[in-house]
Amino acid sequence: MSLLWILLPYSAFLSFAVGHLWRYRRDRFRSYFAHQDMDRAQRLGSMVFPLGFGIVVAARITDMISSGAHSRPEGAIYVAILVVEMIAGVVATTGAVLLFVPDLIASPTRPAITWVDRITLPVLVAGLLSGVMIRFDPNSSDNGYRTAESLFAWFRSLFTLHPNPEAMQHAPQIYQARGLILLLLIAMWPYTRLAGIFAGPVIRLSLRGRHQLRQPFGTPTAPDH
């Protein structure tokens, strides 16, 4: 069982890396959301989701860095992380709903959504709900922060030469479930319509910068269409 908590995360990381390479070669991250016939709700969702999701990730990283081996951040830091994460989670979920629900119920003429797209929203919602459940776990206290003892200890160890699968093997089921949900989200991300949300703008800026560097000095750049 402990081997599972080593094989699954590295498999998810491999899928994440290979998937992004495949997506780049396939369409340069010109995702579904680049279509001009998106409705107003989807355009709003395409702006709201990355903002909320990015803040959630930043809050979790701050929590992981600020937590001790068995204790959560103290005082104002913990309150700030909690408030920011809760608000950003709602914002990210709202953005995801605006992005996915119109096409799930309207059967648009744009490219058909895949089965991966159909499970993306439920996976995101499951991630949010599991995060709330472990955040308010009554068995976590100032002297025993279960998230730091399980998820954080396990995740940090994956980037060292000494993985710690026991941290998850002996964790309560809700913590194990959250770990599996996050691994699923990492593994499937490049194959969903969300793939270009973050990578797309980075790739486009990089390509634009290379194009400008190759132009002779003083040559005007072509306007964007």
DSSP string across 124-164? HHHHHHHHHHHHT-TT-BTTB-HHIIIIIHHHHHTTSSS--
Residue 217's pLDDT is: 47
Q: Domain for residue 209, yes or no?
A: yes
- 136 falls in which pLDDT band (50, 70, 90)? confident
Q: Look at residue 144 and give its three-state secondary structure.
A: strand
User: Identity (one letter) of the amino acid at 117?
Assistant: D
Mean pLDDT of the chain: 84
Does residue 75 surpass a pLDDT of 90? no
* pLDDT for 173: 94
Is residue 75 domain-resident?
yes
**pLDDT of 214 strictly over 70:** no
> Taken in order 7, 13, 16, 19, is the CA torsion positive or negative?
negative
Beta-carbon count within 10 A of 20 CB: 17
Q: Which domain holds residue 155?
A: 4-214
User: Quick one: average pLDDT of 46-66?
Assistant: 93
Instruction: Answer with the residue of higher pLDDT: 206 or 97.
Output: 97
Look at residue 225 and tell me if it is in a domain. Answer: no
| Structural domains counted in the chain | 1
Average pLDDT for 174-181: 96
Whether the Cβ atoms of residue 82 and residue 136 lie closer than 8 Å to each other: no
The answer to whether residue 94 is domain-embedded is yes
Q: For residue 165, is it within any domain?
A: yes
pLDDT digit string, tens, across residues 9-43 = 999 999 999 999 998 888 777 765 555 557 788 88
Does some domain include residue 100? yes
Q: What pTM did the predictor assign? A: 0.84
pLDDT of residue 162: 92
Q: Range with the lowest mean pLDDT among 18-27, 173-182, 192-201?
A: 192-201
What CATH number does residue 69 fall under? Answer: 1.20.950.20
Which pLDDT belongs to residue 218?
Answer: 47
- In this predicted structure, the answer to whether residue 220 has a pLDDT above a threshold of 60 is no
Most confident of 168-177, 198-207, 214-223: 168-177
Pick from 121, 107, 91, 125: nearest CA to 193: 121
223 located within any domain: no
Answer yes or no: is 224 within a domain: no
